[in-house]
Amino acid sequence: MDSELEKFNEKILDGLDFRKILISEIDFDDVIHSLFASANPVAGIRTTSDNNDKAATLYNLLALQSPIICYRFRKNYRALTGTFTLASLQHAQAKLRLKEDAKIPVFILEKKPSESVKKAIALFSLTNDLLSKCFISDAKKIGFYLRAWFSKDEGKKSLFQSAEWSALFPHIDTAEKLASHLSISKTELFRRK
């Protein structure tokens, strides 16, 4: 694991605050916007019918089960994790299911991480959701997201050997291991058409 990321991981609980803040004060960090520009996972999830029952969703529970980790940015906050949670909350406000002044529990980092750590946090969160929570089950789409989010290092055979991937998922170092982890076909995983 990258030493800067490892150090951050060891000390994350020392400088973490947990409190409720206004949803309107939270925006995705620039690194999330950049990853979304290459492949937006929120656009790829299965849609559901729109339910107008304001009491249908337990938003506080949602925020605790899939937490938002953010840092202070000027007078607002920038989220590094909890992308699906934040998207759901923003959608709920747009549909008037949550009040404009609704507050949600979040974890707030004591200070803004470096650019490389921010990217690692965002990539780990999104990829962990993709691989472990299986928000998408289509093998081709999984391959699409991974190719869009991770770069293949020069001189390496695949993205699974890149420094970026290895720092986050060292136990999955081949397409075969990823396919086995997901119980899918390796052929389907990286088929482009």
Give per-residue pLDDT as tens, 154-181. Answer: 888 888 989 999 999 999 988 889 888 8
Length of the chain in residues, anyone?
193
Residue type, 132: S
The pair of structure tokens assigned to 39 is 């492949």
- Quick check: is 38 in a domain? yes
Residues of the chain with pLDDT under 70: 1, 45-56, 134, 191-193
Tell me, what's the pLDDT at 47?
Answer: 57
d(CA 179, CA 112): 35
Domain with 69, as residue range(s), is: 3-44+53-116
Count up the domains in the chain and report the number.
Answer: 2
Domain co-membership, 95 together with 12: yes
d(CA 77, CA 141): 31
At residue 141, φ and ψ (nearest 5 deg) are -70, -40
Tell me, what's the pLDDT at 3?
Answer: 86
What contacts 185, CB < 8 A, 6 or more positions away?
Answer: 139, 179
Domain co-membership, 98 together with 62: yes
d(CA 185, CA 175): 10
DSSP 133: S
Tell me, what's the pLDDT at 139?
Answer: 82
- Quick check: is 128 in a domain? no
In this prediction the pTM is: 0.86
- Quick check: is 20 in a domain? yes
Q: Which of 87, 116, 145 is the last residue of a domain?
A: 116
pLDDT single digits (tens) 94-105: 888 888 999 999
- Quick check: is 170 in a domain? yes
What contacts 3, CB < 8 A, 6 or more positions away?
Answer: none
- Quick check: is 33 in a domain? yes
How many CB atoms are located within 10 Å of the residue 46 CB? 7
Nearest alpha-carbon partner for 109 in 71, 83, 143, 138: 71
Domain co-membership, 87 together with 161: no
